[in-house]
Amino acid sequence: MHMGNWQEHRRYTNFKELQMKIMVGYKRVVDYNVRIQVKPDGSGVVTDGVKLSANPFDDIALEEALRLREKGVADEVIVVAIGPADLTAHLRNGLAMGANRAIHVVTTDAVQPLTAARVFLKLVEKEQPGLVILGKQAIDDDANQTGQMLAALWDRPQATFAGKVEIADGKATVTREVDAGLEVIEAELPAVITTDLRLNEPRFIKLPDIMKAKAKPIDTIEFASLGVEAHDHLKTTHYAPPAKRSKGVMVKDAAELVAALKQKGLL
């Protein structure tokens, strides 16, 4: 139905943009439906036998990249994940959603934001994408740092917390969700965009696309081969579950409530 518009758009879009690649960070995290359990020894959270899935903000990033490709703004979408060998199935989901290919940087170590940003920088130097779209944060560590660090290392503009993205004339016009409301900024490409929740609603994966994804390429790169220093800049001392709420007290009437509050020195 929008075919006419697309074709028109393509005709007037310059050659460089048509060749544009979009690189998308696609991190695997503990699924948002899982009730997180802290290990009894406080060394981390339980991940064995727990459902893992794509970071929801990364799903939004991938959806946005796919929509830009469908609009004719880009011609290739690459999903990137850093982690252990069994990430392949996770990357296949990204390919089934519609990414053209995947890059898997293999490491068994936990990766902190600065290390992740350095890895992305290496991949950016190699792939030369016009746009890198990352989730604003991952729901496991809630760091909200990788996108900003990558932009700084790459020395390119960043547009974080994106609620709306438009690409034209070598520029990204991004509506950001900020405390005061909405802020519209322009960033020259190439740039880094990080996604907020309202940017879009990711599509459902279709069964035939899962089959097609099996034929799409996944490049495997050993972390060590990238020449990135794997340094833990932060040290986690321990994990603890939130304190349990103490049991409530039933009161008969308002007078008893007032008395109880007074007793606690709250009135």
Partner 1 sequence: MSERETMEYDVIVVGAGPAGLSFAIRLKQLTPDTTVCVIEKASTVGAQILSGAVIEPQPLDELLPGWRDNPPPICVPAGEDEFWLLSKTGGRKMMVPPGLKNHGNFIVSLGAMCAWLAPQAEALGVDVFPGFAAADTIYNADGSVAGVRIGDMGVARDGSHKPGYTEGIDIKAKVTVLAEGARGSLTKQLIKRFKLDSGSDPQGYSIGIKELWQLPAGRVTPGKIMHSFGWPADSHTYGGSFLYHLDNDQVALGYVSGLDYSDPNYQPWEAFQQWKNHPMMQPLLDGGTILSAGARAIVTGGYQSLPKVEMPGALLVGDTAGLLNVPKVKGTHQAIRSGMLAAEHLANNDLNAAGFDATLRGSAVMAELKKVRNIKPAFKKGLWIGMLNAAWETVTGGASPWTLKNKPDWSSLHKLGAQEEPKRDYLQRTLAPRDRLAGVYFAATEHDEDQPVHLQVADTSICIDRCTTEYGNPCTRFCPASVYEIVDDDAGKRLQINAANCVHCKTCDIKDPYQIITWVTPEGGSGPNYQNM
Q: Decide: 227 and 122 in contact? Cβ < 8 Å.
A: yes
- Looking at this protein, which amino acid is placed at residue 145? Q
Q: Decide: 123 and 103 in contact? Cβ < 8 Å.
A: yes
Q: Is 31 in the site for partner 1 (CB under 8 A)?
A: yes
Q: Which of 16/51 has CB closer to partner 1?
A: 51
**Min separation Cβ 181 and partner 1, Å:** 24
Q: Is 71 in the site for partner 1 (CB under 8 A)?
A: no
Q: Which of 122/203 has CB closer to partner 1?
A: 203
**Min separation Cβ 266 and partner 1, Å:** 25
DSSP string of 126-141?
HH--SEEEEES--TTT
Q: Is 206 in the site for partner 1 (CB under 8 A)?
A: yes
Query: At 246, is the secondary structure helix, strand, or coil?
Result: coil
Site for partner 1 in 79-108 (CB under 8 A): none
Among 34-42, 125-133, 165-173, 175-183, the segment contacting partner 1 (CB under 8 A): 34-42
Instruction: Show the tokens assigned to 267.
Output: 């009135």
Q: Is 2 in the site for partner 1 (CB under 8 A)?
A: no
| CA atoms within 13 A of residue 167's CA, in its CB half-sphere | 30
Q: Which of 34/110 has CB closer to partner 1?
A: 34
Q: Which of 11/35 has CB closer to partner 1?
A: 35
Q: Decide: 202 and 63 in contact? Cβ < 8 Å.
A: yes
Site for partner 1 in 207-246 (CB under 8 A): 207-208, 210-211
Q: Which residues partner with 79 through β-bridges?
A: 24, 102
Q: Is 140 in the site for partner 1 (CB under 8 A)?
A: no
Q: Is 51 in the site for partner 1 (CB under 8 A)?
A: yes
Q: Is 203 in the site for partner 1 (CB under 8 A)?
A: yes
Closest CA to 106 of 230, 235, 245: 230
Taking only Cα atoms into account, the Rg of the chain, rounded to an integer number of angstroms, comes to: 22
Instruction: Show the tokens assigned to 48.
Output: 């064995």
Q: Decide: 128 and 31 in contact? Cβ < 8 Å.
A: no
Q: Is 265 in the site for partner 1 (CB under 8 A)?
A: no
Among the listed residues 48, 179, 229, 253, the single contact to partner 1 using CB under 8 A: 48
Residue numbers at the binding site for partner 1 (CB under 8 A)? 31, 33-35, 37, 40, 48-51, 53, 201-208, 210-211
